[in-house]
Amino acid sequence: MNTTLKIAMAQIAPVWLDKSATLLKIEEQIKAAAKDHCELIVFGEALLPGYPFWLALTGGAEWNTNLNKELHAHYVRNAVCIEKGELDSVCQLAKDNEMAIYLGIMERPLDRGGHSIYASLVYIDASGDIKSVHRKLQPTYDERLTWAPGDGNGLQVHPLKAFTVGGLNCWENWMPLPRTALYGQGENLHIAVWPGSDHNTKDITRFIAKESRSFVVSVSSLMSKTDFPKGTPYLEAILKNAPETLANGGSCIAGPDGEWIVAPVLHKEGLIIQTIDFNRVLEERQNFDPVGHYSRPDVTKLTVNRDRQTTVEIK
């Protein structure tokens, strides 16, 4: 059995809040990874169409202002409606190249009315089928001003060659119980997606790997002051307080022993490619398995609700 998996981490900047242009950039990265015979490609949190950086730069908590309303509306218009086929081109590329994909999107789902948006992590398998859409359980701090909280439906794992893969968005990775929900389903390749910056990835990546005795792949995006498109609403107000670098990357991979395989990569746009071997998981599980021989389900046990939450149930 082939126990290796070739992974591409797509550390790129979005064409900020431009769904169509960012989607084209994503497709280019998938095609490039295919030329290198990658079997899994991962993109950062909310990459399509971008992270809501304006909130921290323009008084995002101010009530009832035109700036906040218009930027939010612009964001929603550029969010992704999966039900309308807006990821079909990505799914087709996955199928054509027999490559699995984890993609961070801002989702505008019809099953919640089509007006609120969710930071969702989409898993597309190598047959081009969307197998899970995990809506971030708890938006972090100022994200709550524009993102809605998700549910447990996407707390799922998937077979990928010898591996069992699952993923979480950003600070969800600090939440012990969602991590455990994935461990308990057999996860041994954990995907952590981030908007960017090594201050997020440098500690938690190795910690999760050591805790779970799994491979952990953290993928971040990039964002600099020059990445804001000229047509962005209230661009002058955003740039006034923006630092030169808003997200410096920090994509990385830790092995099941918690040591770096790829240390955080900073300020580099493009694909970061690495091959991992499943046998390393079995080696490290010999002395510790958090949901197997080193667990006590008779004492502590986790209950997970994976129902997709909707406001209206029509019978």
CA gap 19, 108 in Å, rounded = 12
CA distances (Å), 207 to each of 172, 177, 203, 213, 292, in order?
Answer: 14, 15, 6, 10, 19
CA gap 240, 27 in Å, rounded = 32
CA 77 to chain centre: 20
Residues 190-213: b if buried by 16+ CB within 10 A, e if exposed: bbbbbbbbbebbeebbbebbbbbb
Q: In this model, does residue 1 exceed pLDDT 80?
A: no
Question: Model's pTM, two decimal places?
Answer: 0.96
Q: In this model, does residue 300 exceed pLDDT 90?
A: yes
N- to C-terminal Cα separation, the chain: 47
Task: Report which secondary-structure segment, H or E, holds 248.
Answer: strand 245-254
pLDDT tens readout for residues 130-179: 999 999 999 999 999 999 999 999 999 999 999 999 999 999 999 999 99
**How many C-beta atoms lie closer than 10 Å to residue 27's C-beta?**
14
* 163 beta partners: 160
CA gap 10, 16 in Å, rounded = 16
pLDDT tens readout for residues 45-96: 999 999 999 999 999 999 999 999 999 999 999 999 999 999 999 999 999 9
Give which of 176, 211, 179 is closest to 192, Cα–Cα: 179
Provide the pLDDT confidence category of residue 287 given band limits of 50, 70 and 90.
Answer: very high
**How many C-beta atoms lie closer than 10 Å to residue 75's C-beta?**
21
Task: List the structure tokens of 187.
Answer: 């996860």
How big is the chain by its Cα radius of gyration, in Å?
19
Task: Report which secondary-structure segment, H or E, holds 212.
Answer: helix 198-212
CATH class of 4-285: alpha beta
pLDDT tens readout for residues 171-182: 999 999 999 999
Provide the pLDDT confidence category of residue 313 given band limits of 50, 70 and 90.
Answer: confident
Sign of CA dihedral 84, 90, 95, 99: negative
Provide the pLDDT confidence category of residue 20 given band limits of 50, 70 and 90.
Answer: very high
